[in-house]
Amino acid sequence: MNPEELAEAVGKAQQVVRQELRVKLEALETNLNAEDRQCKKIVIKTLESIHLLDKNNITHCESDGGYCMVFTTEGEEIMTSRPIKDFDEMLAGSGFYRVHRSFLINLSHIKRLDKAEGGTVILSNDQKIPVASRKREILLGLLDELSE
């Protein structure tokens, strides 16, 4: 690689880093200025884009091996290389609950809970999410808290 190609590659890398930093700073500013603390944003990186999503617009996350699909109220399906565990930690305390090893749901988007066969949650976008039997009692308790 000649010095000109190296300088060009370094310049491109710096531009990508600056863009990512700008998006993170925008998310931080939004979070700090948000009057409603539940209206925070998160940054999700994909191969093609950097998404800035309002947590309230996320209906659920679904594990797909080492990847995770994030579903939004606008019908977006965003695939990222981050595992669902990262989203579970990131969204903890924001009204999300891991109902199954492969599913993390936004409790505010639950339309109903069908109790048959261990349980299935129906979300506002009509997605059907299975509930693990060991998670069912905790979910019922969380739903009771929401109704108070």
Which CATH number is 77's domain given?
A: 2.40.50.1020
Query: Is 21 within the bounds of a domain?
Result: no
The model's pLDDT over 84-141, given as tens digits with 9 standing for 90+, comes to: 999 999 898 888 999 999 999 999 999 999 988 779 999 999 999 999 988 888 888 8
Query: Is 34 within the bounds of a domain?
Result: no
Please give the residue range of the domain that contains residue 92. Answer: 53-147
Query: Is 100 within the bounds of a domain?
Result: yes
The model's pLDDT over 57-71, given as tens digits with 9 standing for 90+, comes to: 999 999 988 899 999
Query: Is 71 within the bounds of a domain?
Result: yes
Percentages helix, strand, coil for the chain, rounded to the nearest 5? 40, 30, 25
Query: Is 28 within the bounds of a domain?
Result: no
- Judge whether 109 and 125 are in contact, CB under 8 Å: yes
Query: Is 38 within the bounds of a domain?
Result: no
Distance CA 38, CA 130 (A): 25
Q: What is the mean pLDDT of residues 9-18?
A: 80
Domains in the chain, number:
1
DSSP secondary structure string for all residues of 29-71 = HHHHH-SSTT--EEEEE-SS-EEEEEGGGEEEEEEETTEEEEE
- Put simply, whether the predicted model's pTM sits higher than 0.95 gets the answer no
